[in-house]
Amino acid sequence: MKKITHMLIASAAALSLSLTGCTLYQDGQEFVEEVSYADPLSELNADNAAAYVEDAESVYDSLRFVPEMFYGKYTASGVTGTELSDEAKESFLENMDYTAITGIDEPVSSLPFRTEAGIHSNVTSLNYLNGYNWMQLYFADEKGNVYPVEAAYNLEGKKLRVRPLKSYSYDSEEKRLDYTFTGETLEYDYSFKGSEMTLSTGGKSVTLSSEDLSSVNGEYICDANLAKDSEKLGGIEKINLTSSERYIVVDGVRHDSPAVQFGEDGICTLSWSDANGTGGFRLVYFYGDDDGLVLTDGQKNYLFTEREWDLYSGDVSTNLSIDDAEKAKDLTPEQLGKINQEIDELYADLSAAFDEAGINAVINEETGEIALDSVVLFGVDKADISDEGKEFLNKFLQTYTSVIFSEKYDGFVTQIEVSGHTDSNGGYQHNLELSQERADNVKKYCLTDYTGIDKKYTMMLSGMLTSVGYAYDNPVLDDKGNIDMEASRRVSFRFMVNIEDN
C-alpha cells in the first residue's frame, strides 16, 4: 500500500482505519504501527462515491489549472515561518541562480522559498482590488537575507506569471488604493503532486510543500465552504477538518468524524457513515491551508475556498470601497442580504434600461463591471474618444444616471470606478499607459457639458468618479479558458454602494 502522509480517524470507538504502512503522529512524534482494521475508505468506489478518480497522474495531465489551486502557504524544506534555517540556506541557496528584481538592492534567488496566496493566507488590503490574484513570495540573497515580494499572479497553461509590485498605499481621504507594478514579469513552470508544488525556471527548480501537511500538527481545514460559482459535489456544502471539530455538511445535514486521507500521490479520499447517511469521494486535492481545499476529477473543479462570512459578503464585496469592505465584516447576514438584494435590483433596472435604449453594455455581476466596447469609443491604439464614441457615451450616461440617481436608489451609489482594459497584444507598459489614458479621458468627458445629462448629475459624478488602467491584467476568458481578445478591449464602469443605512 502506498504511504499516506496524513490520516484522520473517524472515531476511536465507531470507525477505525487500516494503518499499515502509514505515517502517524502521537504527542508530536512520528511512529508506524502495524494494525489491521476494517477500512471504510476501502469500501468507496466509483458506484457509491459522489465523485471518484482512479489515479492522480491522469488528472494532472488533463487538468485546466485555476488560481485557487495555488492558495495556501507553501514552503521549502528547512524553512521555519518566513525565515531560512542554516539547513535551508545550504540546501536552497547553493542551488540557486540569482536575479535582479526592481526595488531590491541585492540580486535574489531566481525562485522563491515560500509562497502565500488566498485572502486568508496572504492578508492584504490588495485583496479588495477587483480582478487580481495576489501572492506573497519570499526570496533570499546569497547571504540568506529575506525579501518578501507582493505580486499579482495569473496562469497561462502550465506557466505561472508573477508581476511584482513596486509600491502600494491606501489613501483614506480619496478612498483609493494606489499601486505600481515594477514592469517586469517573473515566469515559472509549475507542477503539483499531492501537498507539493514544484516551480522551475532557467534550469533551476524548487519543491515547496504545504506548510500544514508537512508539519507534525497535520491538516487544518477550517470552515471551508463550497464557493458559489463552483461545480457541485454531491450536495457537500462544507468541509471542516480540525483537531477540535471534524465534520462535513451535505444538503444541510451535518456528518461528524468523517474518515479522510491525503495521499502523497495527490488523492484525497473522504467517507462518512452515521445515522444521518453515508457517502464519500476520491479526488485529486490542492491543499489551501486557511483558504480551504480545491478538489478535482480533471474535468470539474470543486472549490471549498470560502469561509462562511465570505459566502454572505461575496455578492456584495465587488460593489464596496475598501473602507466599506472592512466595515461589512461587522454586518449580519440579514444586513448583507438586504444590501445584496438592492444591488441585484439595481443591476436588473440598469439592464432593462440599456435594453430599452438599445445600448450594448455587458453587465458582469461577478466582477461588478458594466463593460463598454473600446472599439466603439476609440481608434486602434488611440486614447482620444472618437465622435462615434462620444455619441455612445452620451446615450450611455443619460441612461445610466437616470437609474442610479433615481429616487429609488437615492444615496445608494457612492463611488464609480472607470477602468480601462486592453488585450494582450504589445508590451505591458504601453498597454498600461494606453488603458490609463483611455480611462482618464472617459472620466473627463463624463464631467463635461456635452453629455446631455442633467447638470446636477454632472456635479454628483464629479465627486464619485475615479479612473484606473489595468492593461491586460483582467482579461475576459472564453469558455475554454483562453483570452477573448475582442471582449478584453473595453472600458468599464463599476459602482460602489453605501452600507451605512443598512
Nearest to 9 by CA among 211, 277, 260, 232: 260
The distance in angstroms from the start CA to the end CA of the chain is: 57
Written out in words, the top-level CATH class of the domain with range 311-497 is: alpha beta
**pLDDT value for 195:** 93
Using an 8 Å Cβ cutoff, are 499 and 429 in contact?
A: no
The domain locations on the chain are 67-210, 311-497
pLDDT in tens, 237-293: 999 998 888 999 999 999 999 999 999 999 999 999 877 778 899 999 999 988 999
Angle, helices 428-446/387-404, rounded to nearest 10 degrees: 60
**C-alpha cell at position 62:** 488533463
H or E segment and range at residue 317 = helix 308-317
Query: How many Å apart are CA 344 and CA 329, to the nearest integer?
Result: 20
Residue 332 vs residues 228, 238, 339, 366: alpha-carbon distances, Å: 19, 20, 11, 21
**pLDDT value for 244:** 81
Low-confidence ranges of the chain (pLDDT < 70): 1-40, 170-176, 214-218, 309-317, 322, 326, 479-481, 502
DSSP string, 97-161: -EE--TT-SS-EESS-SEEEESTTTS--GGGGSTT--EEEEEEE-TT--EEEEEEEEEEETTEEE
Residue 362's contacts (CB-CB under 8 Å, 6 or more residues apart) are 369, 370, 371, 487, 490
Query: How many Å apart are CA 112 and CA 465, to the nearest integer?
Result: 39
What b/e sequence results for 196-220 when a residue is b if at least 16 CB atoms lie within 10 Å of its CB, and e otherwise? Answer: bbebbbeeeebebbbbbbbeeebbb
Residue 157's contacts (CB-CB under 8 Å, 6 or more residues apart) are none
Phi, then psi, of 77 in degrees rounded to 5: -60, 135
**pLDDT value for 40:** 62
Residue 305 gets which letter from DSSP? -
pLDDT in tens, 396-421: 999 999 999 999 999 999 999 999 99
DSSP helix/strand/coil, 372: strand
**pLDDT value for 174:** 57
**pLDDT value for 37:** 37
Residue 398 vs residues 227, 249, 384, 392, 453: alpha-carbon distances, Å: 36, 48, 21, 10, 5
What b/e sequence results for 64-82 when a residue is b if at least 16 CB atoms lie within 10 Å of its CB, and e otherwise? Answer: ebbbbbbbbbbbbeebeee
Phi, then psi, of 103 in degrees rounded to 5: 95, -10
**C-alpha cell at position 238:** 462544507
Angle, helices 387-404/333-357, rounded to nearest 10 degrees: 140
DSSP string, 169-198: EEETTTTEEEEEE-S--EEEEEEEETTEEE
Query: How many Å apart are CA 212 and CA 288, to the nearest integer?
Result: 9
**pLDDT value for 315:** 55
Query: How many Å apart are CA 64 and CA 231, to the nearest integer?
Result: 14
Query: How many Å apart are CA 32 and CA 53, to the nearest integer?
Result: 28
Query: How many Å apart are CA 343 and CA 370, to the nearest integer?
Result: 13
**C-alpha cell at position 306:** 470560502
Residue 300's contacts (CB-CB under 8 Å, 6 or more residues apart) are 51, 231
Phi, then psi, of 488 in degrees rounded to 5: -70, -25
**pLDDT value for 38:** 44
